[in-house]
Amino acid sequence: MPAGLIALALGGFGIGLTEFVIAGLLPQVARSLTVSEAAAGWLISGYALTVVVGALVVTAATAALPRKAVLIGLVALFVAGNLLSAVAPDYRLMLLGRIVAALCHGTFFGIGSLVARRLVAPERASRAVAVMFAGLTVANVLGVPFGALVGERWGWRATFWAITAIGVVAGIALAALIPSWAGTIDQADGNGSSADGLRAQLRAFRSGQVWLTLAATALGYGGMFGAFSYLAYTFTEVTGFSSTDVAWLLVVYGTGLVIGNVVGGRGADRDRDRTLLVSLAGLAVTLALFGLLAASPVASVVLVFLTGLFGFATVPGMITRVTDHAHGVPLAAGANVSASNVGNALGAWLGGLALSAGLGYTAPLYVGAAIVLAGLAVLAVAARGTARPVPESADLGGTG
């Protein structure tokens, strides 16, 4: 495995911690900064909204720059945001720190996925992307318990100091382990201009396949996270688990994410569209069964694992699919991250509507299944429209 992939995974791990760790720290942060828990919740939603916008704006602004330099700069932004959070004397600066850190999120994973592909042979592209995203999936498993443990022992600020240190190490690793040739831009479009120019990037969005893949990404994520957002209520109000059981149940879910990421990457390198279709179908069936069997503790444990597995098995293939059909422009990779976060918000909103309508604590699972089925239908249309594989662009080629 190229050492550069490990550096990318370490960066993904730090960014993933930043996203997830705050959930276990909200009560401490709210008390320390003397704000309501509702206001503290904006430290999560503000981050997510910034990811959606930043993935597009920052990617477009940096598209013509050498990608290795951009990745190192993004990690520097990540370090600055977490450092500000660690020392913030009040809520406004804490929120600003979260926003600054979030600006790097989507662009790091978007550009990082393109760099990861260049480090390996073309037939291993999805597996390379999966290695990078492994850092994010591990952070999902460890993020909340890590934050809670460090925060409980040394205070919530210590958690952000620790994440800042991880960012520094990731930046050094990227500088040392990413080959310069993997982070350069050497592709030209048909007119002889840089393929990373903004005009060329926007032209990539003329492709119907790009839009269909982005829609399938949003719906697939939306269904999974729409259900996930309310799992704690399902576990405690329907299954009968105690509130203290929720933490280890989320670890089971996170373990499914980790395994699904690996399996999905390998499957996508063999037959990408089939892997994506099977994963989305598996996720829809899993969520529907979860709704039916939520009263069973054993079934719930198995099904929450499968939710994570099928849900994240789509990630490597979706990234490589959208960048192939966009001919490798970074903005498409960033748009894929934005689409996933839009899906998260949509799924959580629709699941909340179902709860508000009095449909019960299993309703978000059925809503999630319906959203995923819509994503499956979109991807099926996209797959039928690709009679021939899209040629790999020179920029996405590997070292062989």
Q: Where are the domains of the chain?
A: 1-186, 194-387
Q: Which of 84-88, 181-185, 255-259 has the highest mean pLDDT?
A: 84-88
Indicate whether 101 pLDDT > 90: yes
Q: Which CATH class is domain 194-387?
A: mainly alpha
Q: Which two tokens stand for residue 194?
A: 């840089």
pLDDT of residue 191: 33
Q: In degrees to the nearest 10, what's the CA dihedral of 67, 72, 76, 77?
A: 20
Burial grade of 181 (CB within 10 A; 0-12, 13-18, 19 or more): exposed
Instruction: Say which CATH superfamily domain 1-186 falls into.
Output: MFS general substrate transporter like domains (1.20.1250.20)
Indicate whether 375 pLDDT > 80: yes
Average pLDDT (361-385) is 93
Tell me the pLDDT of the chain averaged across its residues: 84
Q: What is the pLDDT of residues 196-227, one digit of tens each?
A: 466 767 777 888 899 999 999 999 988 988 88
- Cα 163 to Cα 147: distance, rounded to the nearest angstrom: 10
Within a 13 Å sphere around the CA of 23, how many CA atoms are in the beta-carbon half?
Answer: 17
Average pLDDT (136-148) is 76
Q: What is the pLDDT of residues 55-78, one digit of tens each?
A: 888 888 887 788 889 999 999 999
Angle (CA) 399 106 139, round 5°: 85
Q: Which of 237-241, 277-281, 352-356 has the highest mean pLDDT?
A: 277-281
pLDDT of residue 259: 92
**End-to-end Cα spacing for the chain:** 13
For the chain, the three-class secondary structure string (H helix, E strand, C coil) is CCHHHHHHHHHHHHHHHHHHHHHHCHHHHHHHCCCCHHHHCHHHHHHHHHHHHHHHHHHHHHCCCCHHHHHHHHHHHHHHHHHHHHHCCCHHHHHHHHHHHHCCHHHHHHHHHHHHHHCCCHHHHHHHHHHHHHHHHHHHHHHHHHHHHHHHHHCHHHHHHHHHHHHHHHHHHHHHHCCHHHHCCCCECCCCCECCCHHHHHHHHHCHHHHHHHHHHHHHHHHHHHHHCCHHHHHHHHHCCCHHHHHHHHHHHHHHHHHHHHHHHHHHHHHHHHHHHHHHHHHHHHHHHHHHHCCCHHHHHHHHHHHHHHHHCCHHHHHHHHHHHCCCCHHHHHHHHHHHHHHHHHHHHHHHHHHHCCCCCCHHHHHHHHHHHHHHHHHHHHHHCCCCCCCCCHHHCCCC
Average pLDDT (272-285) is 95
- Give the distance from CA 65 to its chain's centroid: 23
Identical fold for domains 1-186 and 194-387, yes or no, is: yes
Q: Quick one: CA dihedral 335, 336, 342, 346, positive or negative? A: positive
